[in-house]
Amino acid sequence: MKKITLKDKTFKTFISYEDLSVAIDKVAEKINADFRGCTDIPVLLCVLNGSIMFMAELMKRLDFNCQVISIKLSSYEGTNTTGNVKQAMGLTADITGRRVIVVEDIVDSGNTIVELKEILKRKGAAESYICTLLLKPAAYKKDIKIDYTALEIPNDFIVGFGLDYDELGRNYKDIYVLDE
């Protein structure tokens, strides 16, 4: 089992890149089935910075035309969520009347999802769907439906494959869990 150290914390391998790839294949199949033959051009909304790796892998597997845009929100300091979601960068394109697939790296408390759904509604999205690489069912207590989930995981702190600890660790292709 490989271990990595980021700042003052050590992490051990939790989910291999191979297992992530299989999960992304499956979630892409579901999205493709739902959007097959669509005549509109759905928007894939990458939630920066954490979703970059997942977005890159997911969009390669989608077989319908789509537009890719971004937004940047933040709610974490160190290993804890602040509970407050701040918009660090707004939407990079107009979504009025469009179907939007939000591409998230992880859904835990759900605060970011609530904020995103509100932003999309205010900006005039016709419909919005939530797609996440990782879902923590034990932490997620919101009423908003998660439309596409690649993997469900325990409520542990993880890094890698886009996820960070104080902006470090995003570049690892595997996902690591805090080694306590």
Closest CA to 58 of 38, 32, 19, 34: 32
Q: Which CATH class is domain 3-174?
A: alpha beta
Give me 73's structure tokens: 């929100």
Give me the sheet containing 9-15, strands edge to edge. 3-6, 9-15, 175-178, 158-159
Closest CA to 159 of 78, 43, 55: 78
- Tell me if 24 sits within 8 A of 61, measured CB to CB: yes
Bridge partners (DSSP) listed for residue 78: none
Give the residue extent of every domain in the chain.
3-174
* Residue found by looking up tokens 């759904």 in the block: 117
Catalytic residue numbers read 108
Global confidence as pTM: 0.93
List, in order, residues 6 or more apart from 83 with CB less than 8 Å away.
Answer: 75, 109, 111
> How long is the chain?
180
Predicted confidence pLDDT, tens digits, the chain (180 residues):
899 999 999 999 999 999 999 999 999 999 999 999 999 999 999 999 999 999 999 999 999 999 999 999 876 555 565 667 777 788 989 999 999 999 999 999 999 999 999 999 999 999 999 999 999 999 999 999 999 999 999 999 999 999 999 999 999 999 999 998
